[in-house]
């Protein structure tokens, strides 16, 4: 059987793959493999990321302004500029993290405000607080959406004995003091029958104080048979009752004692809640007439002081009455002391 002729060996040049030229690579580039693309992604940052950071940095450092609206004159010659509502809306969207706190009396100092708000709202972090003393209000930035929602839901807060009302910041927000006609309060009801220790029964009993809101676990778990805790929206135009009556269909009357663990501060001067008398900002009442002007006449003579209590000197006593307009040398007390000493020496 004849053998096959040997296969000639391939040259090294023939086995080497062809390397495309620079012009060929430019015209028909090979698609990058998955490995090559992943390596390039990690080795070099994406261009748009650097541009975004640069754009943000440029935006923060940009202090330039330009005219956007022509200036006109009002009827009395004042310059006037018309601003579209969309400009206000964009600004309000940027400042949505701010809330306004309106005090119902004199504002406390910045130190107590900062300490209390950082503890309650900032949870230890430092908040951005701007005081407006002339308006008795402050502007506070609360970045956390959840905390800001809870702050707005509660509405009424305190710094020491100063109450303030919290509202969402807005360009249309009113700067007038809010008229607070009711306030949530906890009340302790004493003498509630055991068969009324239900959601329905406590709702009836809480109506003695105000509009029922809720109870607590202490009452829900019947931790005490004598006291029930209820939270109500109390009417501030009426006095808070200290007792109430529950009437059964049979005519039986059940007396319920009502106690309040805390009530808001009130002012004896303006009869409003939210501040004490020393922090009142309201003018005197109309029935408090100012001192009348006597036309430049000399002031009336001072009222003589009341008799001085008995002066005991080594068993001797004497009632001394100070006469008006007496001098130090004519002081009857000095005369009494001299007489007593001379009497002791005799």
- The model's pLDDT over 245-301, given as tens digits with 9 standing for 90+, comes to 999 999 999 999 999 998 887 777 777 777 777 778 776 655 554 444 444 444 445
* 208, 241, 259 - which closes a domain: 259
- Written as six digits, the tokens of 323 are 């006469």
Whether 117 is in a domain gets the answer: yes
Query: Residue 160: left if φ>0, alpha if ψ -120 to 50, beta else—which one?
Result: left
The tokens describing 296, both together, are: 């430049």
219 φ/ψ sector (left φ>0, alpha ψ -120 to 50, else beta): alpha
152 lies in the same domain as 189: no
Give yes or no: residues 134 and 96 share one domain: yes
User: For residue 341, what pLDDT is reported?
Assistant: 42
Nearest-angstrom CA–CA distance, 70 and 207: 61
197 within a domain of the structure (yes/no)? yes
Q: What global pTM score does this model have? A: 0.51
Selection from 255, 254, 279 nearest residue 267 by Cα: 279
Which residues, given as ranges, of the chain have pLDDT below 50? Answer: 22-26, 36, 38-49, 289-300, 308-346
The number of distinct structural domains making up the chain is 2
pLDDT at position 98 is: 93
Residue 213 within any structural domain of the chain = yes
Interatomic CA distance for residues 202 and 225, integer angstroms: 13
pLDDT at 204: 96
Q: Which residues contact 127 (CB under 8 A, 6 or more apart)?
A: 114, 117, 118, 121, 140, 141, 142
Instruction: Give the torsion through C-alpha atoms of 241, 243, 245, 246, to 10 deg.
Output: 90
**Domain of residue 250, residue span:** 182-259
pLDDT of residue 316: 41
């Amino acid at each position: 059987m004849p053998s096959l002729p040997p296969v000639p060996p391939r040259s090294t040049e023939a086995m080497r793959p062809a390397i495309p030229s620079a012009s060929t690579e430019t015209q028909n580039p090979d698609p990058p493999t998955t490995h090559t693309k992943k390596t390039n992604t990690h080795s070099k940052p994406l261009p748009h990321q650097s541009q975004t950071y640069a754009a943000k940095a440029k935006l923060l450092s940009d202090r330039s302004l330009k005219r956007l609206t022509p200036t006109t004159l009002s009827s009395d010659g004042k310059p006037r500029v018309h601003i579209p509502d969309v400009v206000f809306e964009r600004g309000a969207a940027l400042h949505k993290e701010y809330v306004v706190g309106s005090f119902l009396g004199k504002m406390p100092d910045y130190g107590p405000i900062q300490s209390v708000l950082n503890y309650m709202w900032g949870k230890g972090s430092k908040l951005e607080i701007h005081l407006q003393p002339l308006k008795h209000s402050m502007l506070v930035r609360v970045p956390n959406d959840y905390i800001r929602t809870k702050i707005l839901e509660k509405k009424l807060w305190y710094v020491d004995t100063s109450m303030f009302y919290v509202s969402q910041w807005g360009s249309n927000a009113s700067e007038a003091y809010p008229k607070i006609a009711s306030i949530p309060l906890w009340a302790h009801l004493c003498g509630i029958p055991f068969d009324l220790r239900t959601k329905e029964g406590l709702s009836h009993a809480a109506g003695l104080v105000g509009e029922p809101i809720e109870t607590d676990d202490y009452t829900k778990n019947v931790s005490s048979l004598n006291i029930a805790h209820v939270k109500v929206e109390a009417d501030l135009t009426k006095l808070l009752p200290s007792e109430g009556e529950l009437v059964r269909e049979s005519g039986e009357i059940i007396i319920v004692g009502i106690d309040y663990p805390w009530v808001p501060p009130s002012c004896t001067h303006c009869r409003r809640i939210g501040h004490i008398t020393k922090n009142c900002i309201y003018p005197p009442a109309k029935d408090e007439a100012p001192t009348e002007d006597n036309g430049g006449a000399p002031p009336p003579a001072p009222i003589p002081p009341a008799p001085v209590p008995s002066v005991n000197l080594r068993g001797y006593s004497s009632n001394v009455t100070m006469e008006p307009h007496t001098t130090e040398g004519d002081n009857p007390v000095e005369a009494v002391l001299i007489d007593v000493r001379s009497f002791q020496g005799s």
